[in-house]
Amino acid sequence: MTAHLQEFSSRMQTAIDALIRELSGLRAGRASVNLLDPIKVDAYGSFMPLSQVGTVTAPEPRLLVVQVWDKGMVKAVEKAIRESSLGVSPSADGQLVRVVLPDLNEERRQELAKLVSKYAEEAKINVRNIRREGNDMIKKLEKDKEVSEDDAHRLTDEMQKITDDHIKKIDTLAATKQKDIMQV
């Protein structure tokens, strides 16, 4: 049964990993190559991650440069970045797409902080859904007489402890990211 708890814990960790990826795409004070990770480019008849059509670098604190591998994709990359929720205006220069990041004003910082809260809440919901699945499985095992009532109660307590630990990690990640964003 402990193997089942580890499986549920692993699934909860996957939800946290997804949150970390989403948070890395949010801009704090300085340009990060991960900022463009969520962007999908309409390339060759399907939507592909930006990282599969070019190389992203951050040569300066407020500048990102995308070296597009296929010259025919430059316009598509520029369009994808412009239409993203980042609120930036890219400019093409040959096979390079430059993205100058404006200073964050207070209003934009607050919007980003709210977005962090939204992402964190979605991650918490995922973790709670996994907990519910685990508790349902424990109840079924108890009903089928595969575990005793005492064992079922102990397993439910352990599932709650695992859930609480993962929720705490999510809260810590969100608080750290919000602090980074609000720091001027």
> What was the pLDDT predicted at 137?
93
In the chain, the amino acid numbered 168 is K
**CATH number assigned to the domain covering 30-100:** 3.30.1360.40
Domain boundaries, the chain: 2-23+105-182, 30-100
As given in the structure block, the two tokens for residue 24 are 């890395």
C-beta separation of 36 from 67 below 8 A = no
CA distances from 69 to 60, 66, 137 (A): 21, 9, 49
Q: What is the pLDDT averaged over residues 126-131? A: 95
- pTM greater than 0.75 (yes/no): no
pLDDT band at 184 (very low <50, low <70, confident <90, very high): low
> What was the pLDDT predicted at 28?
63
Q: What is the pLDDT averaged over residues 138-147? A: 90
Query: What is d(CA 183, CA 109) in angstroms, rounded to the nearest whole number?
Result: 9
Query: What is d(CA 2, CA 62) in angstroms, rounded to the nearest whole number?
Result: 48
Model confidence pLDDT, tens digit, residues 5-54: 899 999 999 999 988 888 876 666 666 777 777 788 888 888 888 888 88
Q: Which CATH number fits domain 2-23+105-182: 3.40.140.10, 3.40.47.10, 3.60.70.12, 1.10.132.20?
A: 1.10.132.20
